Amino acid sequence: MYNVAEQFTSKSQVGLEAWKSVVNASLDGMGKLAALNLHTARAVAKQGAENFKALSEVRDMAGLKALQQPMAVAAVSQSVAYSRRAYHISNESSSAVVQVLGGQLSQAGRGVVGVLQEARKNTPPGVTFAVSSGKAMLSMVNSMLANLAQIAKPATEASAEPAVKMIAKTA
């Protein structure tokens, strides 16, 4: 016979560890974004000072026109680099969270199936329907997770394509 309190405690500890992993992955992503923002702010401030110095040295309209394109190209390339890095950080963080939650859900599904099978041994035959419904629900959730992974990959590839084209045009 199994002790429900012990099983509940062990499952709670596993859930707590998974929660810690999710929080750590999220905090790591936020730390990387904060560092990226700080680095970008410094680069923008430096570029702004250089632009201001170059603009203060301009004495005619031709000089101003000559500065216009390099300044715009520098701003666009900085923006694209920032966007690309922020996208990668976000993608890494969300992948880590999905991996932890997917593993946790898979583990929970196996645990629920085990509990349902144990409960089926100790219950009247009429509960067989509930057990089979639970198994069907878990297989559906596993299928949904697999479909989500298949959908997410083309979506991330498709969203990266316009940025690559924009970079190719500016280069």
For the segment 11-30, what is each residue's pLDDT rounded down to a tens digit? Answer: 777 778 878 888 888 899 99
The amino acid sitting at 131 is V
* 153 confidence band (pLDDT: 50, 70, 90): low
Q: Which residue has the higher pLDDT, 111 or 139?
A: 139
* Res. 46: pLDDT tops 80: yes
Distance CA(142)–CA(154), nearest Å, equals 20
Distance CA(33)–CA(86), nearest Å, equals 7
* 1 confidence band (pLDDT: 50, 70, 90): very low
* 32 confidence band (pLDDT: 50, 70, 90): very high
* 43 confidence band (pLDDT: 50, 70, 90): very high
Q: How far is CA 169 from the centre of its chain?
A: 28
Q: Which two tokens stand for residue 92?
A: 């890494």
Distance CA(14)–CA(105), nearest Å, equals 11
Distance CA(165)–CA(171), nearest Å, equals 10
Question: Are the C-beta atoms of 135 and 116 separated by less than 8 Å?
Answer: yes
Give pLDDT, residue 142.
75
48: left (phi over 0), alpha (psi -120 to 50) or beta: alpha
Give pLDDT, residue 36.
94
The amino acid sitting at 20 is K
Question: Which of 35-39, 86-90, 134-138 is least confident?
Answer: 134-138
How does the average pLDDT of the chain come out, rounded?
Answer: 78
Give the pLDDT confidence of 98-133 residue by residue, as tens digits.
Answer: 888 777 777 666 666 666 666 656 666 555 666 677
* Res. 8: pLDDT tops 50: yes
Burial 89-108 (b: 16+ CB within 10 A, else e): beeebeebbbebeeebbeeb
